[in-house]
Amino acid sequence: MANQSSPRVTDQTRSSSLPDLVTTAGRLLPLQLKDELAMVKSQMGKKAITAGIGIGLAVVGLVFLFIMVVALIVAMIGGFAQERPIWFSALMVAAGALLVALIFLLIGLFRVKAAMPLVPAETIQGVKYDLGYLKEGNAFDPAEFDRLEAQKAEEKKVAAARDAERRKAAAAEDKAARKRGEAPQHATVQSPSYAELRRRTQLRRQHLGDIRSGLEEKTDLKSQFSAFTSQFKGDASGAGSTEQDPTSPTAPHHTGARAGQKANDAGDFVKDRWQPLAMLGAATTAVAVFARQLKK
């Protein structure tokens, strides 16, 4: 619940209605998430460069490790070459390494092939059928569903091919325009920089915080009721600051204050005109009684 120490809600947010604030928050949240993901992507790109440098250094270390392994192999060949020619010993070591490598490669290939695909197509198709039966019941037709899926896949493939051709033609036209010294006909959309993304997310974050405070203020039933009773009693100083009209759209809890002001005005209207209203009521009652007697 809002209190006196909470930050002040801006006049624009305070003057907006509750549905408008909810709609604005629903519109800003996807944009905020999109920019946050773009910032994460940019940061990951920088981290990837740093990781690439580290991987390069690790590769250098692996090269030296490989040199060590080669030296050990040479030492092994030298050991076998005490009674045989050195080329024969080297050939025997290479043949043994090739045999071991082929065995491990074939075993690994068969294991990977047996595990493919990682997510079985039959399982995916079964989940789609389950969703179809849950959605349509007995009206679901698996054959028709498969036909529509194949049609959608073909349409998607054709659309992707057309899009690729369109981009290729646009790139060719832009290249020809540059050769002629003209401006390119198809403007390229530039991605915002990290600084721009950071500025936008900061401003949007503050706006969302202001909307959150505005929603909290508008749903503060205790303060709204206090503003209503203060205006209903005619005590404007109890609803807010004495320098601002409590019923102003930029005043805190102005919704309750306006309702209290209207109730106060209605009460004053009744007080000022109670005699004519009483006479009108008495006359209406007399006419009703007279009409009832005539009917009898």
Among residues of the chain, what percentage have pLDDT more than 70? 77
Question: Which two tokens mark 59?
Answer: 């590769």
Q: What is the pLDDT of residues 170-188, one digit of tens each?
A: 888 888 877 877 766 666 6
> Which residue type does 176 have?
A
Whether the per-residue pLDDT at 272 is higher than 70: the answer is no
Mean pLDDT of all residues in 229-245? 59
* pLDDT recorded at residue 285: 82
**Residue that the structure tokens 């369109």 belong to:** 166
pLDDT band at 250 (very low <50, low <70, confident <90, very high): low
Specify the pTM. Answer: 0.44
Mean pLDDT of all residues in 250-274? 65
Higher pLDDT: 272 or 228? It is 228
Preceding omega of 117 cis (within 30 degrees of 0):
yes
**207 Cβ partners below 8 Å, 6+ apart?**
28
pLDDT band at 156 (very low <50, low <70, confident <90, very high): very high
- Name the residue ranges covered by the structural domains of the chain: 19-138, 226-296
Name the average pLDDT for the chain: 77
Mean pLDDT of all residues in 267-294? 70
* pLDDT recorded at residue 69: 83
* pLDDT recorded at residue 3: 47
Whether the per-residue pLDDT at 155 is higher than 90: the answer is yes
* pLDDT recorded at residue 2: 43
Q: How many CB atoms lie within 10 A of CB 19?
A: 8
* pLDDT recorded at residue 151: 92
- Expressed in angstroms, the distance from the first to the final Cα of the chain is 62
Per the CB < 8 A criterion, the answer to whether 93 and 76 are in contact is yes
Q: What is the pLDDT of residues 7-27, one digit of tens each?
A: 577 777 777 777 888 888 888
Per the CB < 8 A criterion, the answer to whether 2 and 217 are in contact is yes
Q: What is the pLDDT of residues 35-83, one digit of tens each?
A: 888 888 887 877 888 888 888 888 888 888 888 888 888 887 787 777 7
Question: Which two tokens mark 181?
Answer: 């010294």
**Measured between alpha carbons, how far is 254 from 266 in angstroms, rounded to an integer?**
18
Question: Which two tokens mark 147?
Answer: 């036909």
Among residues of the chain, what percentage have pLDDT more than 90? 4
